[in-house]
Amino acid sequence: MDLTTIESDEIGTVAGQPAARATAARKVFIKTYGCQMNVYDSQRMTDALTADGYTATDAIGEADLVLLNTCHIREKAAEKVYSELGRIRDMKAERASAGREMLIGVAGCVAQAEGAEIIRRSPAVDLVIGPQTYHRLPNVLARVRGGEKIVETDYAIEDKFEHLPQPKRAEVIKRGVTAFLTVQEGCDKFCTFCVVPYTRGSEVSRPVAQIVAEAERLAEAGVREVTLLGQNVNAWHGEGEKGQEWGLGRLLFRLSEIPGLARLRYTTSHPRDMGDELIAAHRDLPSLMPYLHLPVQSGSDRILKTMNRRHTAKDYLALLDRIRAVRPDIALSGDFIVGFPGETGADFEATMELVRQVTYASAFSFKYSPRPGTPGADMADQVPETVKDERLQRLQALLLKQQQDFGLSLVGSTIDTLIEKPGRQAGQKVGRSPWLQPVIVDEKAGEIGDIIKVRITKTGYNSLFAELA
Ligand code: SAH
Ligand code: SF4
Ligand code: F3S
């Protein structure tokens, strides 16, 4: 999962308002924190709300409803929400003095983890809704507009995805040629540092037919690249179209048959769920991009054990050997935690050594953040902040060097690029490489949605520059 906090204010504005409404449509502003799954959820909430008569706005000042879709993964992520709520509370008060209402809702993983505590701490909040109940949002909002304060954090028994409306075709087109599609949610692994099993509940896989239908709808609206999402996406399993048991590898084969869908990805995967069929998909499916996010967290077996990852560093390296044997151009990405309780200097060196052995194309690394309710928070030998800082700096310097070397290794080569959007500078367009790097090309190189061959001429800080090959 991409752990840099995504702050997507641009959930988008829907063109045109429902014709039948006598009053001006209510406007919703959604701010998204956390991982890609929250980005996907925000889109689905937007779809549910537009079906309910709202229009999406990216101007918070004109919103009748402000929704924060929050992340609880680290303390900083959760605290951000409260500082943002302070700011929004002042806007709400201003609006009230002008005689207009502004409702405030908190969704996502902080909502699930803290529930009613959010309203106690921030009384301006009108509604708290956990990730498993987004399909109830219109109903809940109707009650909130009637003056109730609502906290809705059940793990709903009904399938929320079945009840959430699909986006309109125009909306999919506006969102662009790449899209997320959640296929699996929740986690049963209980790593001792992690809140996800508590905020997202236990593992649930969406049925094949639902996923295929959604992917077909995306492709039909012009989406070229789909990233399948799940907290443990490679634990996805389902009943195939002829009643047989499918794993993620088989699902990828099925999705690759959809006309127009040229590229497939999946994230985040767990090393313990990399099955043979999935590895075979990397060998046999040209549309499956040669890029794999496979977090390892630590290179020390002792720490992996107390983290409850249930594999060793050697297991992880052996797995990578098997994947690289069938797909030699695969690039690796990972997540790391430094300063987990009990991590010694030698444990940390083992992580550095593993990174040197693997060579990552990109990676996310974090200082361990004790999370309430997780076993790690109560472990002895918490590592001092200064030690965590020093380790993180060293690890990040190594990972950054590897990322830059990877970019440089591509200079002079010819690669496929999916043209995604206009560039920041006039005369440019931005594409996406098979390894998720932004590729800057001349705007005349191709149209949005085209996959073109380009030659890499140089690297930027985080991007590649290219010319038509
Ligand atoms: N399911 C994925 C990870 C989801 S959470 C997996 O098993 O790999 C995303 C990342 O956040 C984790 O990989 C981990 O690196 C980081 N993370 C999770 N809990 C954390 C914590 N308490 N402190 C610091 N980083 C954490
Ligand atoms: Fe968290 Fe571990 Fe589950 Fe990943 S596998 S979501 S790190 S508990
Ligand atoms: Fe954060 Fe929840 Fe995703 S805790 S990383 S938003 S699953």
Establish whether residue 46 lines the binding site of ligand 1, counting it when its CB lies within 6 angstroms of any ligand atom.
no
What SS3 class is residue 55?
strand
Q: How many CB atoms lie within 10 A of CB 40?
A: 18
Query: Which of 117, 120, 119, 154 is closest to 134 using CA atoms?
Result: 154
Q: What is the pTM of this model?
A: 0.94
Establish whether residue 78 lines the binding site of ligand 3, counting it when its CB lies within 6 angstroms of any ligand atom.
no
List per-residue pLDDT tens for the chain, 469 residues long: 443 333 333 333 333 333 334 357 899 999 999 999 999 999 999 999 999 999 999 999 999 999 999 999 999 988 999 999 999 999 999 999 988 999 999 999 999 999 999 999 999 999 999 999 999 999 999 999 999 999 999 887 778 898 899 888 989 999 999 999 999 999 999 999 999 999 999 999 999 999 999 999 999 999 999 999 999 999 999 998 888 999 999 999 999 999 999 999 999 999 999 999 999 999 999 999 999 999 999 999 999 999 999 999 999 999 999 999 999 999 999 999 999 999 999 999 999 999 999 999 999 999 999 999 999 999 999 999 999 999 999 999 999 999 999 999 999 999 999 999 999 999 999 999 999 999 999 999 999 999 999 999 999 988 999 999 9
Which of 37, 185, 190 is the best mutation target for the ligand 2 pocket, counting ligand atoms within 8 Å of the beta carbon and taking the most? 190
Name beta bridge partners: 291.
331
Establish whether residue 270 lines the binding site of ligand 2, counting it when its CB lies within 6 angstroms of any ligand atom.
yes
Establish whether residue 71 lines the binding site of ligand 3, counting it when its CB lies within 6 angstroms of any ligand atom.
yes
**pLDDT the model gives residue 243:** 87
Name the closest ligand to CA 192: 2
Query: Which of 223, 226, 225, 249 is closest to 236 using CA atoms?
Result: 249
**pLDDT the model gives residue 461:** 87
**pLDDT the model gives residue 241:** 81
Sign, Cα dihedral of 89, 91, 93, 99: negative
Sign, Cα dihedral of 277, 283, 288, 294: positive
**pLDDT the model gives residue 282:** 98
